[in-house]
Structure 1
Amino acid sequence: MVDAYLRRLGVARTPRPTAAALSELHLRHLLTVPFENLSVQLGERIVLEERRLVEKVVEERRGGFCYELNGAFGTLLTALGFEVTFLAARVFGASGRLGIPYDHMALRVGTADGGSWLADVGFGAHSHHPLRWADRGEQKDPGGVFRIAEAKAETETQTDTGAGAGIEGAGDLDVVRDGSPQYRLEVRPRVLGDFVAGAWWHSTSPESHFTRSLVCSRVTRDGGRITLSGRRLKVTAPEGDSEERELVTDEEVLGVYRERFGIVLEQVPEVRAAEAGPRA
């Protein structure tokens, strides 16, 4: 498994579990394995089991959303000797509202040279390299200026699903990008099985943005980003300038998936109508 995964990332030799190796693996993952929700729209089941996650990324040469990408990456890092902890987070939405519990998965990674890092290869546009866990100042990265800040325990929040307001627990951390809060991390260790309900909600609920959209995105070699949203192709330069165009034919769409993301599909994915149901 390890050798095949490393080949998928373009890593020639097995690295030691150091901070430098973690940074390289993190970037190579973002360059190689796309953030995508194709399984949701293709009706494929999301299975949060280590073997299945690695199989999807390595053998099927697919990507996934946060639970799959960080789940697979965490499995690889553990096999390489890193100390990996799964963490739950809730994503900040409109007006600062937080998403559902287990809304997002991130990783806390310990290295053999004594470092502790926040690694996240499953949030779409985010940091290209791991963030220093204990650093509460600004951390400059090709993906922006990041900060890990202590969340105020007295802050009342309400979820995007309309759940009642609650008091945030002490010790939570806010991950901020370019001055805007991205998600709120719980520091309590979790296991893969804890995220099953969140993955189910995001892949089935009509209120989830993953059931209402179609996206496939990865970092480019120059530090920019390429994104296919349905039939709209967007290429963003490192400086932020972007070019967009609409793909007209199915052959064009399938060609972009194949040539730019390494994903071979037999049919063009389309957004499926999610069944309405009770609010989570």
Structure 2
Amino acid sequence: MEPLDPARTDAYLRRLGVARPARPTAGSLRELHLGHLRAVPFENLSIHLGEDLVLTRDAVFGKIVTAGRGGICYELNAGFAELLGALGHRVELLQARVYGKDGALGVPYDHLALRVDGRWLADVGFGDHTAYPLDLDEPGEQKDPAGVFLVRPAPDGDGDLEVLHDGVPVYRLETRPRALADFLTGAWWHCTSPESGFTKGPVCSRLTADGGRITLRDHTLITTSADGDRTEEELATEDEVRAAYRTWFGIVLDRLPVPLHPRP
């Protein structure tokens, strides 16, 4: 992937509120990863606004940086990959299949994650996940503000890796690098299928500066503190919902997203 030009790189860094690192290090990667999670929300609003999800570098940059929006994993991690490449990191796109609540794996190219500098698993597109990159060279448990994570070989020994969060498998990661175009089918499925969780209703979520999380799901505003305390507020009017998008996520909407395939 070609790196972003300097002007676009600076604009992306301003979006994150992070200063340009002097050189690419593990420490600067951690800062960028956390800054992305705090500034750029995970959101599937395009699906419910009738907007196309376009996986090109210009479209992703335009949505995240120019328009001040967020996106789903394909957009967020693709954008982050471009930024990291411009700052001197070596970035590879990896495909993963996400474990459902029933323990079954999702569709191929279910998720896009990043391997950075051959060692770090960066993922700013999985919602409530790690605050910092995981070390792929670490065979033991890794503590993170979001919990305890483990990266281990997949049980069948075919070279895949499993990522566990607090002992529960989250996704299964292939180690072969992929191109962004490889994810088009997975993105199309998630944006159209009634079986996809993304089509059942709008959600917008980001990490807060105090380590908590703010989420707007349909008309419900959910605030989770760093220690896990959770409160929910039902927003009664469309104006209140639009105000919540603007206040908490910096997203200005002239109309509300309508669920593509509403939950029964």
TM range (shorter): over 0.9
Say whether residues 1:104 and 2:92 are aligned partners.
Answer: no
Residue aligning to 1:259: 247
| 8 A Cα contact 2:220 2:235, kept in partner | yes
Residue aligning to 1:125: 128
Counterpart of 2:198 (choices 204, 210, 223) is 210
Shift of 1:15: 4.1
| 8 A Cα contact 1:124 1:217, kept in partner | yes
**Structure 2 unaligned residues grouped into runs of 5+:** 1-7
C-alpha separation in 2, matches of 1:89 and 1:46: 19
Say whether residues 1:79 and 2:82 are aligned partners.
Answer: no
| 8 A Cα contact 2:201 2:261, kept in partner | no
Structure 1 residues 1-280: aligned runs within 5 Å:
1-110=8-117, 116-153=119-156, 170-273=158-261
Amino acid of the structure 2 residue aligned with 1:96: G
* Count of aligned pairs: 255
| 8 A Cα contact 1:6 1:14, kept in partner | no
Residue aligning to 1:160: none
Judging changes above 3 Å, is the alpha-carbon distance between structure 1 residues 15 and 231 closer, same or farther for their aligned structure 2 residues?
Answer: farther
Which stretch of the first structure deviates more once superposed, 44-53 or 121-130? Answer: 44-53
Shift of 1:94: 2.6
Shift of 1:269: 1.3
Structure 2 counterpart SS, 1:256: helix
| 8 A Cα contact 2:162 2:171, kept in partner | yes
Structure 1 counterpart SS, 2:102: helix
| 8 A Cα contact 1:234 1:245, kept in partner | yes
TM-score (norm 1): 0.89
Judging changes above 3 Å, is the alpha-carbon distance between structure 1 residues 37 and 15 closer, same or farther for their aligned structure 2 residues?
Answer: farther
C-alpha separation in 2, matches of 1:269 and 1:15: 41
RMSD: 1.1
TM-score (norm 2): 0.94
Shift of 1:152: 1.3
Structure 1 ranges of 4+ moved more than 6 A: none
**Structure 1 unaligned residues grouped into runs of 5+:** 155-169, 275-280
Shift of 1:54: 1.1
